[in-house]
A and B are shown apart, each in its own frame.
Chain A
Amino acid sequence: MNAQKRYHPGWNLEYAMFLFTRLSGFVFFLLAIIGLLWALYMGARLHMDVGTLLRWTFFPNPNHILDSNIPNTDPWMTGLWQIFQIVILAFAGTHGMNGLRVVAEDYIHAPVWQMFTRFVIFLLWIFMLLIAIYVVIS
């Protein structure tokens, strides 16, 4: 066994977001599978077409099942689903806005403009998360 030195990167924004992107990507799979299986359990097999089921799987909002023939939508609009949606929003908003930052910084080279882009995307992140959570809870 050769004495291979392990490289330990220090904590900075790039490394933290690298880890976060991977972890949150994995979490989306778990959340989507839970939402999908739960929807099937709640009667999606009989009362819903596949497009509506997919929209629910991506984001379990009761507005996404308006096209379905669910007789009683009460179990689809509980507080638990609202928490579920807010968790998805927090992860997806951060994952997506960080992705936009990475893409933008690939094409913007001047440090001043990179800082400006970061600042704009940071504001956009806060703003969109607040609006999205407000839409979910009201």
Chain B
Amino acid sequence: MALSRKVGFFTGLRYKGGGPMIAWMLHRFTGVGMAVFIGLHVLASFFTQQTGSDLGISINIIYQNLYFQLFIYFCVLFHGLNGMRIIILDVWPRMIEYQREMIWLTWLIFIPVYGLAAFIMVYLEITGA
């Protein structure tokens, strides 16, 4: 039985869930984002391969754009690392006690791994190397 929620969108935003809420929201957002973009990418590749259509090519050109790559890399890496945190919490339920620390750990791993690759990609783009 689903809960009936009489809470509006903006009221919901004021809920102070902190780190776990942000992780949950980002996990959902990045997951749907990946599903949409990978679905479009598969369709675009199919049409490019079968008909050589301009539509498929123009969609795939967007995907090769630096900013889009930075965005999709954020989606994949955050969804992956946060998913790993969820797996660990599900396999060892006692870790729930430290779940806030685990969210900090997720960000602690995410920021350098994302930042390094993003820095190199932007650096190569700017210097044109």
Contact = CB atoms under 8 A, between A and B. Distances in A.
Q: Are the chains A and B members of one assembly? A: yes
Interface of A: 22, 25-26, 28-29, 32, 49-51, 54-55, 58, 63, 67, 92, 96-97, 99-100, 103, 106, 109, 128, 131-132, 134-135, 138
Nearest to A53: B117
A96 B84 CA distance: 16
A15 to B, nearest CB: 12
B35 A100 contact: yes
Contacts of B42: 128, 131-132, 135
Nearest to A108: B2
B111 interface: no
Nearest to B90: A22
Contacts of B39: 128
Given A50-B120, A92-B38, A99-B31, A134 B87 contact: no
A35 B51 CA distance: 30
Nearest to B82: A25
B38 A22 contact: no
Contact of A109 (B2, B38, B45): B2
A67 B31 CA distance: 27
Q: How large is the interface on B (under 10, 10 to 19, 20 to 34, 35 or more residues)?
A: 20 to 34
For the residues of A in contact with B, the DSSP-based class is: helix
Interface of B: 2, 4, 28, 31-32, 34-35, 38-39, 42-43, 45-46, 49, 64, 66, 69, 73, 76, 80, 83-84, 86-87, 90-91, 117, 120-121, 124
A29 B79 CA distance: 11
Question: Nearest 3 A-B pairs (CB), nearest first?
Answer: A96-B35, A109-B2, A25-B83
B32 A103 contact: yes
Give the residue among B42, B73, B117 with the most A Cβ atoms within 10 A. Answer: B42
A37 to B, nearest CB: 16
A71 to B, nearest CB: 19
B49 A135 contact: yes
A51 B34 CA distance: 17
B10 to A, nearest CB: 17
Contact of A25 (B2, B46, B84, B121): B84
A22 B120 CA distance: 31
Contacts of B83: 25
